[in-house]
Structure 1
Amino acid sequence: MAVEKQTLILDVEDKPALTTGLLLSLQHVFAMFGATILVPILLGLPVSVALLASGVGTLIYQIATKAKVPVYLGSSFAYIAAMQVAIEQMGGDISAAQTGIVMVGLVYIVIAGVVKVIGTNWIDRLLPPIVIGPMIMVIGLGLASNAVSNAGLIADSDWKTILVAVSTFLITAFINTKATGFFKIIPFLTGIIFGYIVAILLGLVDFTPIIEANWLAVPEIYLPFENDLFNSYTFYFGPETWAILPIVLVTVAEHIGDHTVLGKIVGRPFLKNPGLSRTLIGDGAATAVSAFFGGPANTTYGENTGVIGMTRIASVSVIRNAAFIAIGLSFFEKFTALISTIPNAVLGGMSILLYGVIASNGLKVMIEDKVDFNQSRNLIIASSMLVIGLGGAVLDIAGFVTLSGTALSALTGIILNLILPREESFKAKV
């Protein structure tokens, strides 16, 4: 679908009055809020750190792009499955996942350097839609069992858990399809609030953490080296860490897509000015810093584009103020304690929709590119990636690197796309 430049109320360089600017910034924060906090909740990471990293990461991005791009960074969904596996395999220790995401950020910076020197054609060659689509589908569907379990849709489950999950799912779905205006761009946040209220009415919420929490506190930072001041972990370079890196291929492609669409809405060629290399450096540095604090990977957001497209507010000043607000919220312990009391049933209902949407977006990538499944090579690539990515396949390379899930699926797709011969398009005769 074509995206046209919109008549903006506030352009990139515009700076609104103080009160107006703060209100617009609050709107942007809450539009991004549901997705930003959902990732750390699902991973068992501190919400306070995710908010801090989101704000700091956005400021880093603005510095890298010379404050020319109205982008807010939030927690990335793409790495959830790989991080969950890494954390589980380490017995709850986040060191493998943390090191992996720091490395992801550094890989972004390396790719930025390559892009600066030789351009972007190699990315298109390595990652066509027939590879990107199944990769995204594996990311979403790989988490399906966790969503179903949290939603209580298993044997001998409590009816209250199921009711909360179904209520959360339905209100999010209806808002996503029927709502207009501002609510249209915050379906996940609205769904969480509604599901939380239902859970309270059914007696599934324990308010003790909120009561015991202080009003203000330093975010629960986990630094990746030993020291006496923080409960921290060491850098870990085992197979669980390396398995996270191939997902960079997906998120770099998403990065390019997000900036392309945003550029069309605002009417500015962001991939040329300030340039893709700068936007990649900003995104990568923000991700590395977030992980260094113990937070999830950062990413440019489709929600960010939606907010700007709907409000017609593209001011970098508004984005910058939103980042400061997110940083401020991370120090309110009562607030982050409230987030921690959200029951698994609410997350389960939300996740059924969220993970399904992620998987469906992979299908959408292939549909929009009109991938021809009459071609055997396309059918082989997609089917192989899905089976390997979802079937629990594991490849141990000489005890040095163990590839599984999304990583092995991505490698399979890339290799098959490069070696399988291309066919002429044809239409079946009836």
Structure 2
Amino acid sequence: MERLDMVMDIRDVPKKSKWFMLSLQHLFAMFGATVLVPFLTGLPASVALVSSGLGTLSYLLITKGRIPAYLGSSFAFIQPIIIVSQTNSVEAAMVGSFVAGLFYGIVALTIGAFGLDWVMKVLPPVVVGPVIIVIGLGLAPTAVDMAMNVDGQYSGQHFSVAMVTLLVTIIGSLFFKGFFGLIPILIGIVVGYVYALFAGIIDTTAIAASFDAIVSAGSFGEFLSAVFVAPDFLIPFVHYQPLEVLDINVLAIIVPVALVTIAEHIGDQMVLSKVVGRNFLKQPGLHRSILGDGVATMIASMLGGPPNTTYGENIGVLAITRIFSVFVIGGAAVLAIAFGFIGIISDVIASIPTPVMGGVSILLFGIIASSGLRMLVDNQIDLGNNRNLIIAAVILVIGIGGAMVRFQVFGLDFEIQGMALAAIIGVLLNLLLPGKEAAFGNGKMFGDDETDL
């Protein structure tokens, strides 16, 4: 495998004078997207930061410190968590996320025992691409509602805030270079926040109260109490009994999403392998990286945070800086945990107005949908082939249309809907319909040869 020029190798320890800034750079790269997920799902952003940091540290441990990957909040689980939280409870959504993490573990063990080929057969591009499109377009109404409505009523002022945020994020994505080119989402949120502040739609009461408490602290103990505030964790057996909120329908809604995120994870590992110049599918092994993802998701669910996944934003940081040190990644994880316990940061995040996040969401959710389309194009999937066309069409309509099925098994009521149902039907159609070779296009979804990346 061709080795690429690098500034720091995977096990290199950065100089103390540079370590903080290098890690802070990774934190900023993941910050905007990671904060957006809890904002949309109603989960505490501080918990998402803590769980992403802990999840990343566990991932580094499980992969033996050989894969420089940062884990942040997963977009794929947004809609399922919203559905479960509204129809059941947040606690039930956390139980579902925990079981999804267990599913990762089962897949990891199976890959370790039988290799990667079976995953490719179950999740070819013609299935994964349309499901990713469903993830993005299924969230489109949420983004538009956040951007222009207040309590269901149109607001021109709020829509202007969303458009300013969107415009700055687009400009940043296209024209900013270097470090600023890595954080267009964060820059868009900051500029949108300032615009919303001048528009008078931000309540800064909590921020002012936290700042006053810090400034007026009469002792070091009072100062620490004012600065550091425990996040609103939601811990099983402490705040709720998992078996009491466990619902088989919750599992049917959330767990199948793991099929898609596992496919995305494999794609990320392929890209990361090319960036770093090592084959991470072989060493330390795809089974370890998937297990790391699953454990990170389980940790998040046990704290009341959204499921975790590897982040493309941070892979971008690696590609540009050529600094592959896992110690830099670990430093970013520690900073994320620290940020989650700083009360005034949590207050600032909580004060971000809905249209700011709506403006960012319009772009992000569109990009998610477009990435699914790109998967079909990059793999040269022939939609002139009726088999491929049928699979893609059924997945799109069932997923975006919100179809559901209800049935009973051994006296238990099951309900599978939306994206989960679309993914399951897509997998079944691909396995049952003849002409399976057409589902892979040029066969490059996970690389032509997993031994040569």
TM-score by length of 2: 0.89
CA-to-partner distance for each residue in 1:248-273, whole Å, 9 max, x for gaps? 11111111111111111111111111
The residue number in structure 1 matching 2:215 is: none
Which letter does structure 1 place at the counterpart of 2:39?
A: I
Instruction: Indicate the SS of the match to 2:5.
Output: coil
The residue number in structure 2 matching 1:170 is: 167
Inter-partner Cα distance in structure 2 for 1:289 and 1:41: 19
Instruction: Indicate the SS of the match to 2:382.
Output: coil
Q: CA deviation at 1:392?
A: 2.1
Residue 367 of structure 2 corresponds to residue 357 of structure 1: yes
1:236 pairs, out of 237, 246, 252, with 246
The residue number in structure 1 matching 2:232 is: 220
How many residues matched? 418
2:430–2:436 contact (8 Å) kept in structure 1: no
The residue number in structure 1 matching 2:176 is: 179
2:130–2:372 contact (8 Å) kept in structure 1: yes
Instruction: Indicate the SS of the match to 1:166.
Output: helix
Over 3 Å counting, the alpha-carbon distance change for 1:153 and 1:5 in structure 2 is: farther
Instruction: Indicate the SS of the match to 2:228.
Output: coil
The residue number in structure 2 matching 1:428 is: none
Inter-partner Cα distance in structure 2 for 1:156 and 1:298: 34
Inter-partner Cα distance in structure 1 for 2:314 and 2:194: 27
The residue number in structure 2 matching 1:104 is: 100
The residue number in structure 1 matching 2:310 is: 300
The residue number in structure 2 matching 1:40 is: 38
Inter-partner Cα distance in structure 2 for 1:197 and 1:122: 50
The residue number in structure 1 matching 2:143 is: 147
2:149–2:155 contact (8 Å) kept in structure 1: no
Residue 292 of structure 2 corresponds to residue 282 of structure 1: yes
Instruction: Indicate the SS of the match to 2:172.
Output: helix
1:4–1:265 contact (8 Å) kept in structure 2: no
Residue 214 of structure 2 corresponds to residue 204 of structure 1: no
Over 3 Å counting, the alpha-carbon distance change for 1:352 and 1:238 in structure 2 is: same
2:146–2:357 contact (8 Å) kept in structure 1: yes
Q: CA deviation at 1:408?
A: 0.6
Which letter does structure 1 place at the counterpart of 2:58?
A: I
Residue 418 of structure 2 corresponds to residue 405 of structure 1: yes
CA-to-partner distance for each residue in 1:55-100, whole Å, 9 max, x for gaps? 111110111011111111111111111111111112xx30221111
The residue number in structure 1 matching 2:219 is: none
The residue number in structure 2 matching 1:84 is: 82
1:116 pairs, out of 109, 112, 129, with 112
Over 3 Å counting, the alpha-carbon distance change for 1:332 and 1:218 in structure 2 is: same
Inter-partner Cα distance in structure 1 for 2:107 and 2:155: 48
Residue 427 of structure 2 corresponds to residue 414 of structure 1: yes
Which stretches in structure 1 are left out of the alignment for 5+ residues?
426-430
2:23–2:331 contact (8 Å) kept in structure 1: yes
Over 3 Å counting, the alpha-carbon distance change for 1:70 and 1:135 in structure 2 is: same
The residue number in structure 1 matching 2:216 is: none
Inter-partner Cα distance in structure 2 for 1:407 and 1:250: 9
Which letter does structure 2 place at the counterpart of 1:44?
A: G
Which letter does structure 2 place at the counterpart of 1:95?
A: E
1:89–1:240 contact (8 Å) kept in structure 2: no
Q: CA deviation at 1:6?
A: 3.2
CA-to-partner distance for each residue in 1:3-25, whole Å, 9 max, x for gaps? 97531101101111112111111
Larger CA deviation: 99-108 vs 146-155: 146-155
1:24 pairs, out of 8, 13, 22, with 22
2:70–2:311 contact (8 Å) kept in structure 1: yes
CA-to-partner distance for each residue in 1:112-148, whole Å, 9 max, x for gaps? 1001100011110011000001100111111111111
CA-to-partner distance for each residue in 1:228-256, whole Å, 9 max, x for gaps? xx588754224133211111111111111
Inter-partner Cα distance in structure 2 for 1:351 and 1:13: 36
Instruction: Indicate the SS of the match to 1:151.
Output: helix
Larger CA deviation: 167-176 vs 390-399: 390-399
CA-to-partner distance for each residue in 1:292-321, whole Å, 9 max, x for gaps? 100000001111210100111100111111
Instruction: Indicate the SS of the match to 2:416.
Output: strand
Q: CA deviation at 1:379?
A: 0.7
Q: Percent identity?
A: 45
Which letter does structure 2 place at the counterpart of 1:206?
A: D
Which letter does structure 2 place at the counterpart of 1:219?
A: P
The 5 A counterparts of 1:252-331 are: 252-331=262-341
1:224–1:235 contact (8 Å) kept in structure 2: no
Inter-partner Cα distance in structure 2 for 1:4 and 1:31: 27
Which letter does structure 2 place at the counterpart of 1:194?
A: V
Inter-partner Cα distance in structure 1 for 2:414 and 2:15: 54
RMSD, aligned α-carbons: 1.8
Structure 1: which 4+ aligned runs deviate by more than 3 Å?
Answer: 3-6, 153-156, 230-235
CA-to-partner distance for each residue in 1:26-60, whole Å, 9 max, x for gaps? 11111111111111111111111111101111110
Residue 190 of structure 2 corresponds to residue 193 of structure 1: yes
Larger CA deviation: 177-186 vs 314-323: 177-186
